[in-house]
């Protein structure tokens, strides 16, 4: 048998290898059929792992071989694969973060090694040539639009004495597990010169967000509008809400009366006890930065922001969207 030398296996040959392996043929038999040495076939079959439970995949093997061959110092995966590059650009244009893109692509293209990328690789691609025209445009699509990534600053909560408040210490412990839908965290975001505000309510399990348009920060207005928004939900989603010690929640008993939801209060200066809400407020600030006069923001604009937040993949929930989780929970109960 004349053995081919110094030529890499083709995809066609790898498909033949898979077919003959499935037919329980020996490696020597396969080598003879594709006119290769037995050692070539053995290396090909074994290099992706020796686990006998894992079937040989010719497409994965071919992709790995190409990746090994390419000079990774000069050619990155995003530059090589047009479809991958298009997916990343589309995600950035949709205001997704590299981490969200990295997580979601695995959901959209399972078992496709080409359509798989880490968020660090996306950042490296964007910042590889920060002065290049295309890279400048990509940087502007990032959330912070910075030439360097910096860790976010942590916020501190504030506290106020409220009558008849029920401490988070009494809140049922199973709520901490985030396994049951219908438990929320609430807060106010304060606008320019402390003269305006909007309410934010986020569900702990799904991260589904509700943004509440407010005419003022007064407790009666907050109780009225929070009750109105929460009562638009199905009963399955109305169980409890955890709030900070802001005096705007002085009418918390009225909200409980209107909605049937129990309200618990976090400890003063313990914003981490409402971490989901604090994080969500940070996401909303990307659209409505500090110094925004919320009196000039209409409810339609707030609903557009709310829709964007609820329809983007989140790492914390397996790169599903909050709306997908809510829809599933409602369907599951029904």
Average of per-residue pLDDT values in the chain: 86
**pLDDT for res 1:** 45
266-272 own/partner pairs: CB under 8 Å, 24+ apart: 266/157, 266/168, 266/242, 267/159, 267/167, 267/168, 268/157, 268/158, 268/159, 269/156, 269/157, 269/158, 269/159, 270/157, 271/154, 271/155, 271/156, 271/157, 271/244
Q: Check if the beta carbon of residue 258 is closer than 8 Å to that of residue 227.
A: yes
**pLDDT for res 110:** 86
**pLDDT for res 73:** 47
Q: What percent of the chain stands above pLDDT 70?
A: 87
**pLDDT for res 236:** 94
pLDDT digits (tens, 9 = 90+) for 127-172: 877 667 777 888 888 877 666 555 555 554 444 578 898 999 999 9
Lowest model confidence (mean pLDDT) among 55-59, 67-71, 231-235: 67-71
**pLDDT for res 50:** 46
The residue assigned the tokens 């909050």 is 322
**pLDDT for res 174:** 94
Alpha carbon distances (Å) from 40 to 18, 233, 290: 14, 63, 63
**Across the strands, what pairs with 210?**
201
**pLDDT for res 68:** 64
- How far apart CA 126 and CA 115 sit, in angstroms, is 18
51 pLDDT exceeds 70? no
- How far apart CA 58 and CA 128 sit, in angstroms, is 33
Using only the alpha carbons of the chain, give its radius of gyration. Answer: 27
pLDDT digits (tens, 9 = 90+) for 261-285: 999 999 888 888 999 999 999 999 9
pLDDT confidence band for 29 (50 / 70 / 90): very high
């Amino acid at each position: 048998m004349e053995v081919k030398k110094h030529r890499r296996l083709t995809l066609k040959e790898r498909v033949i290898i898979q077919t003959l392996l499935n037919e329980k043929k020996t490696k020597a038999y396969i080598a003879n059929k594709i006119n290769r040495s037995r050692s070539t076939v053995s290396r090909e079959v074994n290099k992706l792992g020796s686990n006998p439970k894992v079937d040989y995949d010719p497409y994965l093997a071919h992709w790995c071989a190409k990746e090994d061959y390419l000079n990774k110092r000069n050619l990155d995966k995003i530059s090589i694969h047009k479809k991958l590059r298009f997916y990343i650009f589309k995600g950035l244009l949709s205001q997704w973060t590299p981490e969200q893109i990295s997580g979601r692509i695995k959901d959209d293209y399972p078992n496709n090694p080409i359509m798989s990328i880490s968020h660090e690789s996306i950042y490296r691609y964007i910042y590889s040539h920060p002065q290049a025209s295309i890279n400048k445009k990509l940087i502007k699509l990032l959330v912070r639009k910075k030439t360097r990534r910096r860790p976010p600053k942590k916020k501190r909560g504030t506290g106020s004495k409220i009558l008849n408040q029920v401490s988070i210490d009494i809140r049922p412990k199973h709520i901490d597990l985030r396994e049951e839908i219908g438990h929320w965290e609430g807060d106010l975001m304060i606008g320019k010169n402390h003269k305006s505000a909007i309410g934010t309510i986020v569900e702990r399990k799904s991260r589904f967000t509700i943004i509440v348009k407010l005419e003022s920060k007064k407790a009666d207005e907050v109780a009225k509008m929070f009750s109105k928004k929460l009562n638009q939900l199905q009963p399955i989603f109305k169980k409890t809400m955890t709030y900070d010690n802001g005096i705007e929640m002085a009418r918390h008993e009225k909200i409980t009366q209107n909605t049937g939801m129990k309200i618990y209060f976090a400890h003063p200066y313990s914003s981490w006890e409402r971490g989901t809400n604090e994080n969500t407020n940070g996401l909303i600030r990307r659209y409505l930065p500090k110094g925004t006069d919320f009196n000039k923001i209409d409810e339609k604009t707030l609903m557009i922001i709310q829709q964007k937040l609820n329809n983007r993949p989140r790492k914390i929930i397996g790169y599903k969207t909050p709306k997908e989780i809510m829809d599933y929970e409602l369907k599951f109960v029904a």
